[in-house]
Amino acid sequence: MNTKHVLREARVQLRRYRSRLSDEIRRGMESEIDKLAEARREGQKDQARKIAKSLVKKIRTHTPKTAWHHTIETVESFAIAIVVALAIRHFFIEPFKIPTGSMEPTLHGSVYEPAPRIGDFIMVSKFAYGPKIPFTSRRLWNTKPKRWDIVVFSTRGINTDDGRPAASDPARNFVKRIVGLPGETLEIREGWLYVNGEKVEMPKDVEQRLINNKRPGLARYLDAPYEPAPERTHGYLKYHYPINLFGLRPFPPNPELTERVAIGPWKYGLEGKPFIVPEGHYFMMGDNSPQSADSRAWGFVPFENIKGKVLCVWYPIRKWRAVN
């Protein structure tokens, strides 16, 4: 018999049913609870088990559980499980889905041609750069991201110079690779990244993956977006939903009200034109850079917008793999 469990349960039941018990029964239970606690403190195991058996009898006799109490306990268990799950999701890990092909071949997005394919479901570490304080953008502590990290971030507040939402409207979660760090001078020359005037080599695994990938239409990592690059615009679909309940959209968008919004021209990352990454911000690009609307089109990502670092692909199960 687990005397610790009996002691805890007796205290819970006494508190819950106190108003229904007579003074004599309540005092008797309180006395035995005190005796059990004392026997446990003094290490008297046999005595503690003896008292626990007597206490269990009194609990079953005087505090019987009804269907209502079983329901209450079930609800309490579910509530605790939900709170724990939300805490894990807020502080530790959170799942996301890859919707597009901008991170090919590292991460696969949903496509419908030539055949439908479900995009990768990824797990993101929200602990990697420091856990955020609930309902704020501040972190308990900061761990700075590194170049080539693949991260998920919110596009909220990323605007063009004239104040229009640049990355997406409404704000969404994007996944990209960090190319530029705060304070660095970046330049792209003939498909290579230069940081503060020095050529930067890609990680070997990333370079090899891009070389080995045979998917049609995939170009080198830092190729220019399109030609002529200065005239390239970034377009996105602005969806209008019939109902929006606190940010939740239970119905699909109305296609008749969907409009395409173009933002351009490309401002950053043009061939041979250096630029500086502001302090506290990061420059993001997709691995499939010619098919990626990224920081070259809509600018820099504040550190507080970064939600976490991508750890692995967890679905489809047969394609589970770590991501780096």
pLDDT tens-digit map of 246-304: 444 555 666 666 666 666 667 787 777 899 999 999 999 888 777 777 888 888 999 99
Over residues 164-180, the mean pLDDT reads 79
Q: Is 317 domain-assigned?
A: yes
Q: Is 202 domain-assigned?
A: yes
pLDDT of amino acid 65: 63
Length of the chain: 324
In this structure, the answer to whether residues 183 and 304 fall within a common structural domain is yes
Residue 160 banded pLDDT, cuts 50, 70, 90? low
Over residues 302-310, the mean pLDDT reads 92
CA 114 to chain centre: 31
pLDDT of amino acid 218: 42
User: 16 pLDDT exceeds 70?
Assistant: yes
Q: Is 269 domain-assigned?
A: yes
Residue 185 banded pLDDT, cuts 50, 70, 90? very high
Angstrom CA distances, 187 to 138, 161, 179, 211, stand at: 31, 21, 11, 22
Angstrom CA distances, 232 to 228, 244, 292, 298, stand at: 7, 33, 12, 12
pLDDT of amino acid 94: 83
pLDDT in tens, 105-142: 888 887 655 555 678 889 998 888 887 777 677 777 77
Cis-peptide, bond into residue 225, ω within 30° of zero: no
Question: In the structure encoding, which two tokens stand for residue 129, read together?
Answer: 């750069």
The domain tally of the chain equals: 2
pLDDT of amino acid 90: 66
Structural domain boundaries enclosing 243: 93-322
- Strand pairing of 275-276 and 185-189? antiparallel
In this structure, the answer to whether residues 175 and 294 fall within a common structural domain is yes
Q: Is 81 domain-assigned?
A: no
Question: In the structure encoding, which two tokens stand for residue 158, read together?
Answer: 């990323």
Q: Is 70 domain-assigned?
A: no
In this structure, the answer to whether residues 41 and 157 fall within a common structural domain is no
Over residues 21-40, the mean pLDDT reads 86
Under 8 Å CB-to-CB from 309, ≥6 apart: which residues? 124, 125, 128, 129, 145, 149, 150, 151
Give buried/exposed letters for 150-171 (b at 16+ CB in 10 A, else e): bbbbbbbebebeeeebbbbeee
In this structure, the answer to whether residues 112 and 10 fall within a common structural domain is no
- What's the pTM value of the predicted model, to 2 decimals? 0.66
In this structure, the answer to whether residues 23 and 159 fall within a common structural domain is no
In this structure, the answer to whether residues 139 and 249 fall within a common structural domain is yes
The CATH code of the domain that includes 316 is 2.10.109.10
What average pLDDT does the structure give for the chain? 76
User: 32 pLDDT exceeds 50?
Assistant: yes
| Residue 122: Cβ within 10 Å count | 22
pLDDT of amino acid 259: 62
In this structure, the answer to whether residues 141 and 34 fall within a common structural domain is no
In this structure, the answer to whether residues 291 and 176 fall within a common structural domain is yes
Cis-peptide, bond into residue 170, ω within 30° of zero: yes
